[in-house]
Structures are given as C-alpha cells and as structure tokens.
Structure 1
C-alpha cells in the first residue's frame, strides 16, 4: 500500500505554500483537505500562517481541526473574514481556542448543519452564544466539560431543528453537589421540551439522566431513534417502561452499567423494551434472573446487534435459548468478558448453529473457551467471508481455530488477538496475504511476533489502527515499513517496545496523512539507553553497550 497521487500532490502543496502563487485556484475540496492536513502536521508556525490565507475563500464549507494547539482565535477570525458559509465545523481538542474564536467563526453561519466542539475543556457557554442556524441538525459537545447544560438548553431554544445531540462529558465535575445535579436535570428536561419531535439521537453519560429526564424525553421526543444511557445508575424500571411506551420507534438503546435495572422490580422493565430495537447493549448489568434475560431478548425479533458483556445470567443454556429466536438476524454479537466460567465451547456451537448472518463476533476474555465450536462456521466459505470483525482474545484459543480464521475470513477488517500467545509471524503472514482489507489489528502481548510479521502486514494491508504493546522484539524496521506502506495510519500503541526509537516514531508521524496518535511508553527502558543509526541497514539500534 502506498500514497495515492492526490495525497502526494497535497503533501507537496502543504509543504510549499510559501512558493506557490496559484493555490487560490484549487477546487474547494482540496483547500479544505489542505487546511486539515496542515493542522494535522503542526505546520502553523508564525512564518507559515500568512501563506495559509491563500486557502481562505467564500467557497469553504467545511472546517476540521484535530488536536492542534497551534490553532488560535486569530486564525479562526481570519477564516471568518473570508465570509465563507460553513456547513460543517469540527474542532477537537485544540486548546489554543477560546470562546472568542468560536464566536468569530460561528457568527452569521446560517447554513451550519454540523457543529462539533469535542474535548474543548477551555470553552464555556459563551462559545455557543452566536450559534444560530435553521439547518443545524448535529451538535457534538462530548468532553467539553466547561460547557453547562444551561448553555446547551439555550442553544436548543434557538436551534430547534437539532436531531442529534451528543453530551457525553458536558458539565462533568469530579465532585457534584445535589443542587448541581438537580439544576442539570432541570435543563435536560427543558432542552427535551425545546427540541421536541425534532430530537432523534441523545447521547449522555454517568447520571446525566434521571427518571424525570427520561420521562420528559418520552413525553416530548416521540421520534427518538438512538438513546445512550451508559452509566445512568439512577434510572429506574418504571421510568424505562414509560420511555419504551413513549418512544415506540426506538432503534438503538445502550443500558450499559445501568445498575438499578439488575434487581426486582426494576429488572421487569426489560420485558417492555420497544420491539423496534435493532441494537441493544446490556453491558455490565449484573442481571442474574435467567428467565427475564431470555424472555427480554426472545421478543426483540428485529435485533441485529446485541452486547451482553459481563451479564451473569448468560450461560451455555440461556445463550442457546436466546439465539434460537434471534440468532438468524444478528450481524454483531458481543459476549466478551464473561464474569464466570459459565460460558464454554458449547455456547459457540449455538452461535454456529443459529447465527447465519454474523458480520462481527466478540469473544475476548472468556476463560474456558478454545474456540473449537466455531470451526464449522469458519469452514463454511459463505459465512466465513461474511465476517468483517472478530475479537477472539482468549487465553486458551486453539491454534487450529486461529489458522482457520486467517485462512478463511478473507474480508476481515478488524481483528483483536490481545493476549493470544500462539500468534506468530506465520499467522500474521497468512493474515496479510488473505485479508487485504484489514485495517484494525490488536496483537497486544503476542510475544512470538517479530518485525517479519508486522512488515508483511504493512506491505499488504492499509492499516488504520495497530496495537503491538508488549511485543518487545519489534524494532525500527517495523516502524519504517509502516511509514512507507501505511499512510492512512491513525493510531498505534506500542507501549513496552523498548527497541523502537523516538526518531523512528517521529518519521512515522511525518509520513502519515492524518494526525497519528502514538502510545509509546517504555518504563522498563534502560535509563542510559542511547540509539544511533546503523549506516549499513538504515535502522536505529542501541549503542550504549557497544565496546
């Protein structure tokens, strides 16, 4: 895999803006891409910023800045001065921007459809003061803890066409008082009233929702399609039942860690979930009543995605009863992280028997599984090639099963093999040759892997995410190969890989197109470790121990 001609051309332009006079004639889409890439690679030096004005024009419709501390209020004001009419504004973790800059770029943006200010902890409610667009349908304020629900409610009052609202981490404080939570809940109820039937997606976190909030959403927002209640431990069964009745068209519901629902009488609310559901998550609900679990899922015949991680009521018998009724329609099934030894390979026989449409299967961290129950599925060419995602990080995973996966699942895009000790270079080589569409791979702790396997993967697969933490034998050879073959790489985790040098990591960052996230902590590295380039091989190696 190599960079496309358009990517090479854009890289040349972004590095030579100061020499090129005709950049203003580029099509708008390339100007927008250049603005993104210049920010990704931290090229906004004091001497370079003046040349960026060549990219500012009335035709700009999309701004996307990600994790660039060089982005400033003045830069946003310069873009706003071009009188562009933005449809999409996305600024994520750019800590050099304040309320003043956001106000400048959002003033008079009446065509704005998407506003994303994610992880902007320095912003306050004032940042939203001038956002006013009849076309605004998506607002994402995740992890912007300086923004309060009062500010979100005011925004909703001015922009009543909002359909999707992402508030995970808004107004998040370590120590909340009771009065603070009461005010927050009051504003949630108010914004539900303001948006009414327009609101279809609501994403919240950790007790941002209470019973009164949920009932208000059910009363004012009957068109709700997606609701995330992850960690809302105060939600009762009675409120959930009222919500299920008020939003009969709900498609996606996340009840993960809603711990109030695990015991009677609240657990009985699971019987009332809308039959329209296609995606349900019960992760971390310590439900022990096997009858309610089975009957709850058996009646939801439209389910396509089910997540049951850490549910004690799930065992070989209950899983078979559930899949007998809904297995044929499932495309994603996640039972990772079993809390007991109640799931064995017998459960996989039920998966093989009933799940004929699976595209993703997650079985990681199940202690008593070897995976052999999946062999008939993996040897079926139709069903094996349908699989796009597999998470099989199981300690006892059979080498035979792993061999079948890499040989038969030719359309794999995501593979998680964390802690599977039998993974070696031969497995990775076969995976690389048979699965060209693989983009995300985790081989954390797979100590038999060397540069040979990783380089083979880099040459054949356009990797976007790679986890090799704990694979201590890897060297700069792997990093240089990734740099030359995987320009779309977005994240790489290599904690504990002490033989990979910081210089090679910097080279990898320079070569990738998007901003690359790197996890490279080596706490066990020698304090006097010294790396130098071998002029014969081009690799960096340790020289502090050479005589």
Structure 2
C-alpha cells in the first residue's frame, strides 16, 4: 500500500536525523516542519560545565532550561524519549519536576555529573516513567536508599542504571534492584560513604542474569571471592571497572582473563598488579579496546603484551609508569594503529624516538598525555598532527 506524503517524509527524515542533517528541513515548509519536528525533539542532549566544554554549550543549556521553566506545554514535548543534561550544577528538583510535566514519554534519562537535586526529584521520576530503560545519576551526591528503592520497584524495565557516587546508598538499595530490575545490562554502584559489600555482588549474580557492564570503582570491600563470582556468572562481560578496589589481589584480578569478550577494562590504582597478570589478560582478552592502567606502574613487558594481543586498542592509560621506555611505546604505535587516546604522563624515560613513531603510525590519535615527559624535544613534537590535543606537556628550563 502506498504511503501518504507525511508518512513517507517521516521515514526519509529519520535517516537524515542520524547524520544530523535534518535541521534545515524545519524551514522548507509547514509540512516538512510538522514531519521533522517530532523527530528532532526525540533526542535532547545538552552540556553545562562552562569553560570545560565551551561557553556556547552553557548558553544553549541555559536557554533550554529557561524555555522549560516558562512553558507548561511544548508542541513536541510528547515526542521526547531521550534527555541528557550532563555537567550542570543547577539541576534542581523544580527543573526536573518540569521535565516530568512537559516530557511524559521519556525512556532514557542521563544526568551524569549534574547535581542540585535529591530524593524528591527521583521520586517524581520513578512515578512518572514506569517504562524507563536508562538512568544515569552519576556523581549526584544527594540521593539515599529511599529514592533508589522506590526507583527499582517502580521501574522494572531498567536496562542501564548508573548510581555511582550518588549519595548515601547502601546494600539495601542493591537488594531491591536485584529483586526488581531483572533486565539490567549495566549497573554502576561504585564509591559512596557506604561501600558495597561482597554480599551485594553475590545478590547481583544470583538475580540479574544478563549483566554485560559493571562499574565497581572504589568498592573497597570487594575481595577475590567477589571477582570469582563475577567472572563465573558473567563470562560474556564486556565492560568492567575495578579501579581502587584495593582488597582484591593480583590472583583475583587474573581471573578476569575468563571474560574473553571483554572490551573495556579499568584497573586504575591497583599498584599490586604484576606484569604477568596483565600479560595473561591481554592474551586472553584480545578484544580490549579501552584499558586504564593509571598508577599501576606497568613495565615494558606488559605494554608489549598489550601491543601484541590487543590490536583494536583505542584508549590506553599508563599514567605514572615510570619505567616505560621508547621500546614498548614504539611497538605499541606500530601494532595498534587505531589508538585515539594515549596517556603517557610521568613516563619520564620516553624520548623523541617514541614520539616520532607515534606521529608516523597513529593517524587517528586525538589526545596524547605527556605530563612530565621531560626527555622530549620541541622538534619531535612538531612531527605530531598540529590538531592533536597534547595534555600536560611542558619543558624544563635548562640549567645555566
């Protein structure tokens, strides 16, 4: 059956929206505006943060909040499904209450690193959005078990839940989440005043069968027993963050090698890690593309194993690894050409040789961290892409 013109335009416009080429359609005619408007309003993404992201983003966000505060109805408010407002320090309960009023059909909420609201706002969200699939309240700091328990009981369709560093959240919240949110694929529960216990992790593995991503950063009560339970229950795990989990041992971390489809792994500040363990993980998990080993004090042996096995590496952080030399960095540059972010801060033995190999081989590189890499000269830096973001580099004045 032939499609009516508005239906046909809507189907075409959905493809244009994917390439962010739909905005001019608003100005063509009333019909085009009527068909493109709801599509454009489905996905709203704004960033605060001022100088960190550019003043223009902050201005856009202020305009949006002003519109929301003044209007009880927006023409395309019911079209909004995805709302992301990150790095905004004035996201109050009243503003979120207006979101709930104006945007009744949201399934995806992301307030990462935004704060100013508390349990009251989360109660409103829980009551208004029973079909919520994605919620990120990372780093809010003002939430408690009361609102998290309410959220879990009222939003059983959640697939992504990030509540790390969100306030005074304890094992009570985790128990309710495990018994209500069976569909979860990602769960972030790190940090906070009351660190999550081994018992909570065992509850997660018992009741939530399809977890693919876990953020357990700074869960300082976790032990090797916990890691064993995780890798046994989730052999298909894709993302795992165990940074600052300093009660786990080298033997416990080695068990991660059982998750052979792992793509993102963060082990920041686990200073006890041995080169042997990193080598085993790299060889067993060749799909790792994001690897955070900041303050793990790795050596050339570990970096060379990563270069040899993880050819799809895009992000590698070995900040603070003082013994790293040109040998391993040059090998990494030659064998992992997809790297986009490379953090080498405090790798003091790196010289111009490694920088030239990076310049020659890493054409996709967007960021290079070189804080206190004092043996690199200006001529070598000039061989790098002029648009490359170089973080932390400075020259040491020569002594007279």
Given the two structures, how large is their TM-score scaled by the length of structure 2? 0.81
Q: Choose from 381, 384, 396 the match for 2:272.
A: 396
CA distance in 2, matches of 1:439, 1:170: 26
CA distance in 2, matches of 1:260, 1:429: 44
* Cα shift at 1:301: 1.1
1:98-133 Cα offsets, whole Å, 9 max, x none, are xxxxxxxx8xx3369xxxxxxxxxxxxxxxxxxx95
Q: Choose from 48, 58, 62 the match for 1:169.
A: 48
Q: What's the counterpart of residue 110 of structure 1?
A: 25
Q: What's the counterpart of residue 187 of structure 1?
A: 67
Q: What's the counterpart of residue 88 of structure 1?
A: 21
Q: Choose from 75, 81, 84 the match for 1:200.
A: 81
Instruction: Name the SS for the 2:265 alignment partner.
Output: strand
Counterpart mapping for 1:504-515 below 5 A: 504-510=380-386, 515=387
Give runs of ≥4 in structure 1 deviating > 6 Å. Answer: none
Counterpart mapping for 1:421-440 below 5 A: 421=297, 423-440=298-315
* Cα shift at 1:318: 1.6
Q: What's the counterpart of residue 502 of structure 1?
A: 378
The Cα RMSD (Å) is 3.2
1:407 aligns with 2:266: no
Q: Choose from 158, 163, 170 the match for 1:289.
A: 170
Q: What's the counterpart of residue 457 of structure 1?
A: 332
Q: What's the counterpart of residue 54 of structure 1?
A: none
CA distance in 1, matches of 2:108, 2:389: 29
Q: Would you say the 8 A contact 2:256–2:281 is kept in 1?
A: no
CA distance in 2, matches of 1:244, 1:397: 41
* Cα shift at 1:281: 0.8
Q: What's the counterpart of residue 519 of structure 1?
A: 391
* Cα shift at 1:134: 5.3
CA distance in 2, matches of 1:246, 1:201: 15
CA distance in 2, matches of 1:459, 1:191: 56
1:223 aligns with 2:102: no
Q: What's the counterpart of residue 357 of structure 2?
A: 481
1:61-100 Cα offsets, whole Å, 9 max, x none, are x9xxxxxxxxxxxxxxxxxxxxxxx9539xxxxxxxxxxx
CA distance in 2, matches of 1:160, 1:460: 42
Instruction: Name the SS for the 2:282 alignment partner.
Output: helix
* Cα shift at 1:361: 0.9
CA distance in 1, matches of 2:178, 2:190: 14
Instruction: Name the SS for the 1:507 alignment partner.
Output: coil
* Cα shift at 1:183: 10
Using a 3 Å threshold, how does the CA distance of structure 1 residues 267 and 334 change in structure 2: closer, same or farther?
A: closer
5+ residue gaps, structure 2, are 1-15, 52-61
* Cα shift at 1:249: 2.4
Q: What's the counterpart of residue 347 of structure 2?
A: 471
Using a 3 Å threshold, how does the CA distance of structure 1 residues 191 and 397 change in structure 2: closer, same or farther?
A: farther
1:132-187 Cα offsets, whole Å, 9 max, x none, are 955667xxxxxxxxxxxxxxxxxxxxx88412222221889xxxxxxxxx998663
Q: What's the counterpart of residue 363 of structure 1?
A: 242
Instruction: Name the SS for the 1:390 alignment partner.
Output: strand
Using a 3 Å threshold, how does the CA distance of structure 1 residues 398 and 198 change in structure 2: closer, same or farther?
A: same
CA distance in 2, matches of 1:249, 1:369: 37
Q: What's the counterpart of residue 417 of structure 1?
A: 293
Q: What's the counterpart of residue 10 of structure 2?
A: none
Using a 3 Å threshold, how does the CA distance of structure 1 residues 170 and 449 change in structure 2: closer, same or farther?
A: closer
Using a 3 Å threshold, how does the CA distance of structure 1 residues 269 and 258 change in structure 2: closer, same or farther?
A: farther
The higher radius of gyration belongs to: 1
1:387 aligns with 2:262: yes
* Cα shift at 1:316: 1.5
Q: Choose from 224, 245, 248 the match for 2:127.
A: 245
* Cα shift at 1:375: 3.5
* Cα shift at 1:411: 1.3
Counterpart mapping for 1:14-33 below 5 A: none
Instruction: Name the SS for the 1:314 alignment partner.
Output: coil
